[in-house]
Amino acid sequence: MLYTLLCYNKEDVVWSWSRAEDDAVMSRLSVVHEKLVKEGKLGPSLRLLPTTAAATLRGNVVIDGPFAETKEQLLGFYVIDVENLDAALDVARELSAANPTSVYEIRPIALYVPEARADAPREMIKAY
């Protein structure tokens, strides 16, 4: 089953880290990343640039930055392929141990691939 782990944190704090602080966090996270790669469970993972580089399109209006104003911002995400929610929570716990100031939201993914691949498993093709 595919899950996405959405990583939230206080953007102003994270982007104010020194190079050494950032490297230390990324080093701890890489231990988890490498384990997931070896297990064949890690899909795409991205670190997003700051919201100051973002724009939101609402109708025909473009707004600078993200639409939602919250204390924590979405800073990145992982796509993992694990057996179930408990396994996804285990991965989130490992990531949280490596980066304890972040919050991880776990969501199952339903891929929408309208007959793009005739040989795709039925569970991979779900309409919303």
3-state secondary structure 61-73: EEEECCCCCCCCE
| CATH number, domain containing residue 68 | 3.30.70.1060
pTM of structure: 0.74
pLDDT band at 53 (very low <50, low <70, confident <90, very high): confident
**What is the pLDDT, as a whole number, of residue 119?**
57
pLDDT of residue 35 exceeding 80:
yes
Query: Taken in order 83, 1, 72, 24, is the CA torsion positive or negative?
Result: positive
Q: Which amino acid is at 10?
A: K
Domain count of the fold of the chain: 1
Q: Which two tokens stand for residue 88?
A: 């996804």
> CA-CA-CA-CA torsion for 50, 106, 113, 1, nearest 10 degrees?
140
Average pLDDT, the chain: 84
Span 36-63, average pLDDT? 86
Q: Are 14 and 74 in contact (CB under 8 A)?
A: no
Span 18-45, average pLDDT? 94
Span 32-60, average pLDDT? 88
CA angle 79, 109, 112 (to 5 degrees): 115
pLDDT tens readout for residues 73-127: 888 999 999 999 999 999 999 999 999 999 999 999 876 655 555 555 555 444 3
Span 63-82, average pLDDT? 81
Q: Are 93 and 106 in contact (CB under 8 A)?
A: no
Q: Are 80 and 94 in contact (CB under 8 A)?
A: no
The range of the structural domain enclosing residue 83 comes to 2-124
